[in-house]
Amino acid sequence: MTRLYNDPVNFVDEATEGFVAAHAQRVCQVPGGVIRSTRSEPNTVAVVIGGGSGHYPAFAGLVGQGLAHGAVMGNLFASPSAQQVYNVCKAANNGAGVLLSFGNYAGDVLHFGQARERLIREGIPCEIVAVIDDVSSASQDEIHKRRGIAGDLTVFKIAAAAAEAGYSLEEVVRVSRAANFRTRSMGVAFDGCTLPGAKDALFHVPSGKMAVGLGIHGEPGISEQEVPSADALAELLVSHLLEEIPDGIDSARGARVSVLLNGLGSIKYEELFVVYRRVHQLLGDAGLEIVEPEVGELVTSLDMAGASLTLFWLDDELERLWQAPADAPAYRKGSLEAAPPVDRSQLDIPDVDAIPPASEVSIAAARRVYQALSATRKIIDQNVEELGRLDAIAGDGDHGIGMQRGVVAAELAAEDAVSRNAGAGTLLRLAAEAWADRAGGTSGAIWGVMLNALSVTLGDEDEPTPAHYASGISKARDDVMTFGKAKLGDKTLVDALVPFSETLERALAAGDDFSDAWRKAVDAAANAAQATAELKPKLGRARPLAEKSLGTPDPGAVSLSMIVAAVQGVIDRQ
């Protein structure tokens, strides 16, 4: 369990502060994360990595010469917000574009994707490589659905070594994708970890059992068995990974691989070495040549008891890049000449507190948006328990608490924005960031996406008309479906959002005034949310749990319909 913290709310911020104090020679803090404190070659690609905190050395411990240029640090096990990603990228950018790399999780895909769009809009080329090394998380036919675990390191290292060697962004993307498709990992878990201040572990594995393929945040695995001997575990992991030799490699015999044996937190070094002994023998027996293996803690989950094995199938170029020197706080290799310290005044560090100028009409509209957010906060406050109960049937029961955390933060951010005369667009952007930051999880990400879509549509100049709002809501719907990859009928919030958005557009087009049109849309959303009870659940990462939700409305769809109903009152008062 996690024992040492102050106020759990500040855990990540305080850990970051301590990390930067201990490693000032290599990293410095910027809003949203850390970047190198040493100078990089101008006009080289910047590699920015990131994800939730709690996985040290991933991600901040992997920033330094020869490795990443920056790391975006979300809350514990929660994606960073798009704004955080954007901030770190702006500060890390060396003029030749940014490669974003992170483990393939829904929230990260959403937020890094949004940040990428914004960077490109601002003229900074940006590409994404989401790491998909965990063979247990989806079949080979759905390889793009796999999540990223310890194989993160191989992709980050290759991308960074290529950037350091002066590769163009296109070339960095090419070798990073090659590394991604040639990296395969498989993990096991013996027990979960406890978030600071939490009463119980994030998940449990029954005593004496081992969960095979269970994810680093407790996502379901593929089987459960008795804890095996160290040798038997080595045999299990090696045999699974040798069943899936990546395309382009004829046979294991003669192939060159790097090997990562990773401890998740409380499976310790001596145990890992006992397992590695047998891994080394087995890979040798299979005819593989092992190149610069790593045995230790590379991607952890606080003090989770677990381990994973990664095979990284090399070619000549990847081997050269893998062996290139690096000097990050938690990963060092070879020898390199120390770069001089960076001059912070030369960095493009976004002023996250600045409020851009806005028109009077937009400032007035911002006040109405703030009232809508207040109404939203009230309705969520009243329904926290009910939303939690709905979510507990098929999920982890935190939908109510997550929504509450998000909307409280959004309301506070909006209040501050109003006091500083922000326009509607800026107020919504700040509220979106606050919601996504504080809520964490996928629902936080989705509400961040929706408020951001409204923000972009409304801007800080024009007076928003009903058509503006409807168009912003349509964009929110499209962005959620694009970023979140959810379709109508998947039993998610999309099932209420689509009829809401379409009814609103239709009614306005038919000549209804805003209040009437909104009321019709609210009814459509409420009916659709109830109807999700009849839908077959989306069988995603939580298949066994999702099946339990038959007969229960989707909590995300329910909370959406509650919120739009509450906003009716604000519209009617205009």
CB of 302 to its own copies, least distance (A): 5
- The interface mask with its own copies, positions 187-226, x = CB under 8 A, is ---x-----x------------------------------
Question: Taking the CB of residue 319, how many other CB atoms lie within 10 A of it?
Answer: 17
- The interface mask with its own copies, positions 45-84, x = CB under 8 A, is --------xx-xx---x-----------------------
User: Which residues are tagged catalytic?
Assistant: 217
The CA distances from residue 174 to 129, 163, 177, 268, 377, in Å, are 10, 12, 5, 35, 45
- The interface mask with its own copies, positions 7-46, x = CB under 8 A, is ----xx-xxxxxx-xx------------------------
Beta bridge partner(s), residue 68: 63
Choosing from 239, 254, 285, 338, the residue that interacts with its own copies (CB under 8 A) is 338
Which is closer to its own copies, CB of 62 or CB of 373? Answer: 62
Query: What does the longest C-alpha to C-alpha distance in the chain come to?
Result: 76
The DSSP symbol for 146 reads: P
In the chain, what is the straight-line distance between the N-terminal and C-terminal CA atoms, in Å? 52
Which is closer to its own copies, CB of 67 or CB of 451? Answer: 67
CB of 269 to its own copies, least distance (A): 4
State the DSSP string of 30-73. ETTEEEESB---TT-PEEEEEEEESSTTTTGGGBSBTSBSEEEE
Q: Which of 281, 285, 291 is nearest to 311 (CA)?
A: 291
CB of 9 to its own copies, least distance (A): 12
CB of 272 to its own copies, least distance (A): 8
Are 157 and 298 contacting, i.e. CB atoms less than 8 angstroms apart?
no
Which is closer to its own copies, CB of 227 or CB of 539? Answer: 227
CB of 67 to its own copies, least distance (A): 14
Instruction: Tell me which residues in 163-192 interact with its own copies (CB under 8 A).
Output: 190
Q: Which of 313, 305, 301 is nearest to 249 (CA)?
A: 313
Q: Give the span between the Cα atoms of 93 and 211, in whole angstroms.
A: 41
Are 70 and 88 contacting, i.e. CB atoms less than 8 angstroms apart?
yes
Q: Which stretch binds its own copies (CB under 8 A): 213-221, 277-285, 411-419, 566-574?
A: 277-285
Q: Give the span between the Cα atoms of 457 and 476, in whole angstroms.
A: 10
| DSSP E strands, 227-323 | 256-263, 289-290, 294-296, 305-313
Which is closer to its own copies, CB of 73 or CB of 496? Answer: 73
CB of 531 to its own copies, least distance (A): 43
CB of 192 to its own copies, least distance (A): 13
Cα 44 to the chain's mean position, in Å?
25
Are 399 and 412 contacting, i.e. CB atoms less than 8 angstroms apart?
no
- The interface mask with its own copies, positions 286-305, x = CB under 8 A, is -------xxxxx--x-xx-x
CB of 338 to its own copies, least distance (A): 7
Burial category of 327 from C-beta neighbours within 10 Å (exposed 0-12, middle 13-18, buried 19 and up): buried
Which is closer to its own copies, CB of 181 or CB of 273? Answer: 273
Q: Which stretch binds its own copies (CB under 8 A): 276-284, 352-360, 525-533, 558-566?
A: 276-284
Residue 270 contacts its own copies per CB under 8 A:
yes
How many residues bind its own copies (CB under 8 A)? The answer is 59
Choosing from 254, 269, 360, 478, the residue that interacts with its own copies (CB under 8 A) is 269
Are 357 and 394 contacting, i.e. CB atoms less than 8 angstroms apart?
no
Are 129 and 162 contacting, i.e. CB atoms less than 8 angstroms apart?
no
Interacting residue ranges for its own copies, rule: CB under 8 A = 2-6, 11-12, 14-19, 21-22, 53-54, 56-57, 61, 190, 196, 227, 229-231, 233, 261, 265-278, 280, 293-297, 300, 302-303, 305, 307, 330, 332, 335-338
